[in-house]
Amino acid sequence: MATLLPIKERTTNTREEQLISHKHELEITDDSARWLELAERYEVPVEEVALIDFNRSGVALPNGEVPVNFRVRFKGILMDGAGGSSWYALPVRSEGDTNFVAIDDGLQFGGRPIGTIESLMLDTCEASYQRGPHLLNLNSRSRSNCGGCRACVHNYKNLYDETVIRDQDQLMTEADLEAFFDAKTADGLDVAALQQIAVVTGLFGSEQAVVDHMKLVAHVAAKRGFAGELMYFGCEVNSEAALEELAGLGNFALVYAIDNFTHRDRLLTKTKSLITLEDARRTLELAKSKGIATNFAYIAGLDPIEDMTAGFTYLRDSLTRFPIVNVYQVQTTSQVKAMDPAAKGLEYYVQARKAIESAMQGSDLLPVRWENYRPLWYNWYDGEPLATKPYGD
């Protein structure tokens, strides 16, 4: 069924051993009967349970395409394949620390094939990246320079080297953005065909800095024919005046970076920890009232289930879109310590899925698979199949 095993120490002379030598016990599923048991108990499709387990467990790469304790990204058709090909991004483990193994063009669990994979690559931190031909993400503030949030892998500066950190050139000035879009256009990007440009980045330092930057991105992109949605992923815009300015840009969306509901002073950098759930709801309600599309980002694995349920229930009516909920993936000792103790086991994540579905009942909002490489939902939500969404790659 399942055993509790320590994640083994990585053997390397190039990094400090604190990185993934946690010696903390995480549940490692060694029999698919565990998936069936949880699927029946919680009335969740067994394929969904398996994919949740995959994201929380990580993957072994016997051929060494990506080093242990780094991250791998790839497209795959996994389990029943009902949703077609989807992107996944997760930590690479040593063999024996996970029973999910990607080898050649297939994914195995316990030696049995459970899907096919392609485009296996190192998951890097870039100044920008695309999710298919119509979605562009900008890490304007160099996301790899973030620090202070214990759950975030970018808080641990010894983890990665220059093979991963590739976002040192910030996109802050008009000249920066003009040069960036010119280079992307030369490489074949049709800016006018983009349906969304998302600024997903570290802290700007002030509300006005965010507003000014979003205006600048909108201005530079519009000159190249962009008429899609402009999205800001963060928590630094909270005043009515600032939200009015952003709403004035037209097709605008806000993803509020909440991350977790409890122990915020212990887990988050000071700027974020000072924001209460009351503050977040007020901002989301204000944004919604001004015609801005609203949702929030959350990490499943940090809060007790009852607090998770209360938080989603409290914020539900301030949203126009389903929250982006990530399965918590750990790569460092401190990340493991930040976990709710129950989150070391698979059952916690199945319970989280059910709890959020219950809290969101009546909202008519549904998760969107392409938004998230490590979700709690894949092809089904609350007993119903998820329709194919636009923008999907």
Q: Does the pLDDT at position 10 exceed 50?
A: no
CA–CA gap between residue 187 and residue 211 (Å, rounded): 29
The pLDDT value given to residue 143: 52
Tokens of residue 198, six digits:
């998302």
More confident residue, 39 or 333: 39
Average pLDDT over residues 314-321: 98
> How many angstroms separate the first and last alpha carbons of the chain?
35
153 falls in which pLDDT band (50, 70, 90)? low
**Could you tell me if 210 and 232 are in contact, meaning their C-beta atoms sit under 8 angstroms apart?**
yes
Structure-derived torsion over alpha carbons of residues 18, 24, 30, 32, reported in degrees to the nearest 10: -100
Q: Does the pLDDT at position 279 exceed 90?
A: yes
Consecutive H or E run containing 357: helix 346-359
Q: What would the pLDDT profile of 330-347 be if each residue is shown by its tens digit?
A: 877 778 888 999 999 999
Consecutive H or E run containing 277: helix 277-289
Q: What would the pLDDT profile of 96-118 be if each residue is shown by its tens digit?
A: 889 999 999 999 999 999 999 99
**Could you tell me if 142 and 127 are in contact, meaning their C-beta atoms sit under 8 angstroms apart?**
yes
**Could you tell me if 150 and 331 are in contact, meaning their C-beta atoms sit under 8 angstroms apart?**
no
Q: What would the pLDDT profile of 61-76 be if each residue is shown by its tens digit?
A: 999 988 888 889 899 9
The pLDDT value given to residue 302: 95
Most confident listed range (53-62, 72-81, 142-151): 53-62
CA-to-CA dists, residue 359 to 293, 322, 349, angstroms: 20, 12, 15
Burial of 122 (0-12, 13-18, 19+ CB in 10 A): middle
The pLDDT value given to residue 22: 34
pTM for the model stands at: 0.88
Q: What would the pLDDT profile of 240-256 be if each residue is shown by its tens digit?
A: 999 999 999 999 999 99
CA–CA gap between residue 162 and residue 222 (Å, rounded): 33
Burial of 334 (0-12, 13-18, 19+ CB in 10 A): middle
The pLDDT value given to residue 19: 36
Average pLDDT score over the chain: 85
The percent of residues in the chain predicted with pLDDT above 70, rounded, is 82
